[in-house]
Amino acid sequence: MPIKVLIVDDSAVVRNILASELGSDPAIEVVETAPDPYVAREHIAKFKPDVITLDIEMPRMDGITFLRKLMKHFPMPVIVVSSLTQKGSELAMEALNEGAVDVMCKPGRAYSVGDMTTSLIEKIKAAARVRIEDFDALKDQLHRSKPNLALTRTTNKVVAIGASTGGTQALEYILTSLPSNSPGIVIVQHMPERFTRSFSLRLNDLCRIDVREAADGDRVVPGTALLAPGNMHMVLRRSGATYYVEVKEGPLVKRQRPSVEVLFNSVAKYAGSNAIGVILTGMGSDGADGMLKMKQNGALNIAQDEKTCVVFGMPNEAIKLGAVDKVLPLAKIPEAVLQYA
């Protein structure tokens, strides 16, 4: 059975583009489109879609208000498709907190229609596998069980983390659990540009470590986490005893930019046995081959377990390759990182 998708967007042009592009995939059926949440509500009752794509800047009722009502009365997987603006990215972060499983930006300067819809199709297929009830229960459980960890001394280890669908919540849990002297961290979370800046600012407000969107040449030092900018690859480099990152353009790798594969390959080369790898929830295989190279070069690697993943694709691919040393529930990962460090 194809995945039934409802498109909610106030722009007729966007609705038509998305309907045409998504409908070209045999695994997806666009059951209807809606110009606002009021029409969407009627279509939800009639067609019972598996996944909704939702614009969050709409007249009559904004997307955040609609999302809250939807999650209360008809919980289902929602992917936010937002404009590439500062306001749009900030609202997208709010939408993730309200229960959306992923975010995308509309086609424009940074993303062609082809690139955007290729990525959106992957996200829809991942979202269709998500059980929203389990997703909400997991979030509640993690907020109740968050540890307050400490590290007795600083370390020059490098922690490399890769995540996709569901990763924003997983990253928030891990990073807010870590002490201020945690090892330096480099992160790829599949997310559009500008959205990563809003995400890093949100995390920085919540964490004891400093979290920021990476800039070219930033040093990887204890107490700091660097998040790859959306639509840019990030690689680790080394000069003497100093680690730093290079942020650069490049083609999609494993259909992604930024790509976990690109980051992990560089960590394998420049950090070797001084690295700790973590692969979190997400669809596809991005990062699995790079994680295997990390292990072959002496890194210690952790994968999130199936039960606590929103989508078990990326961790499962790394596990099947033999790239992982430990498979752990999300709640155990921060402590394991510090033990390895």
Dig out the tokens for 90 from the structure: 């900030």
Q: Which of 89, 164, 266, 285 is catalytic?
A: 164
Q: Which of 190, 285, 289, 305 is catalytic?
A: 190
Pair type for strands 233-239 and 242-248: antiparallel
H/E stretch holding 326: strand 326-328
How many other C-beta atoms can be found within 10 angstroms of the C-beta atom of residue 94?
17
H/E stretch holding 235: strand 233-239
Residue 233 bears catalytic tag: no
Residue 164 bears catalytic tag: yes
Q: Which of 50, 286, 289, 305 is catalytic?
A: 286
Phi and psi (nearest 5°) for 324?
-115, 135
At residue 103's C-alpha, the angle toward residues 145 and 254, to 5°, is: 100
Calpha distance 57→154 (Å, rounded): 44
Residue 190 bears catalytic tag: yes
Chain mean position to CA 129: 16
* DSSP line for 72-120: HHS---EEEEE-SSHHHHHHHHHHHHTT--EEEE-SSSSS-HHHHHHHH
Q: State whether the Cα torsion 27-31-36-111 is positive or negative.
A: positive
Calpha distance 227→235 (Å, rounded): 11
What positions carry a catalytic annotation?
Answer: 164, 190, 286
